[in-house]
Amino acid sequence: MATRKPPGYLLRLVSATGAGESFDCTAARSEGLLGWSCSAASAIFSVQVSHDDNTWGTIETYTASATQTGSAQLTGYYPYVRANVLYVNAATAVSGSATATLSVYWAPVLG
């Protein structure tokens, strides 16, 4: 059950595949900003949404790389939001880090 309220990190310094905790966005409007950064050579993650915090569907999939930060605007009313890491290329971590990581930040417009 989602107890975390946005804004905040959907994923924070994650180095393994799998879904993060969900955010309760029931008080949010129908748009928000997503930002990500990666210390791995590359990572692929999806943004998933739910109307009941139980059944999830993917609305977008993004590729992150160590040479850039990324951002996107999501439009649509989604009561619950989470991120799911599909792949992390940990073969080449940058900045002297021993572990490749991915962070995804979510900031919906609050009602």
Confidence (pLDDT) at 34: 92
Tell me, what's the pLDDT at 60? 94
Q: Does residue 30 sit within a domain?
A: yes
Q: Which domain holds residue 93?
A: 8-110
Instruction: Determine the pLDDT at residue 3.
Output: 65
- Classify residue 56: in a domain, yes or no: yes
Residue 36 lies in a domain: yes
Instruction: State residue 93's pLDDT score.
Output: 47
Residue 76 lies in a domain: yes
Instruction: Give the residue among 109, 110, 102, 111 at the shortest CA–CA distance from 9.
Output: 102
**For residue range 9-32, what is the model confidence (pLDDT) as tens digits?**
999 988 888 999 898 988 888 888
With a cut of 50, list the residues of the chain below it in pLDDT: 93-98
For residue 55, the domain's CATH number is: 2.60.120.1110
Tell me whether residue 1 is in a domain.
no
Residue 74's DSSP bridge partners are 32
- Asked if residue 111 lies in contact with residue 16, where contact means CB atoms within 8 angstroms, the answer is no
**Residue at 3 is within a domain:** no
pLDDT at 1: 61
Supply the pTM of this predicted model. 0.85
Residue 65 belongs to some domain of the structure: yes
Q: Is residue 2 part of a domain?
A: no
- Cβ-based neighbours of 21, under 8 Å, separated by 6 or more: 2, 4, 10, 82
Number of domains forming the structure of the chain = 1
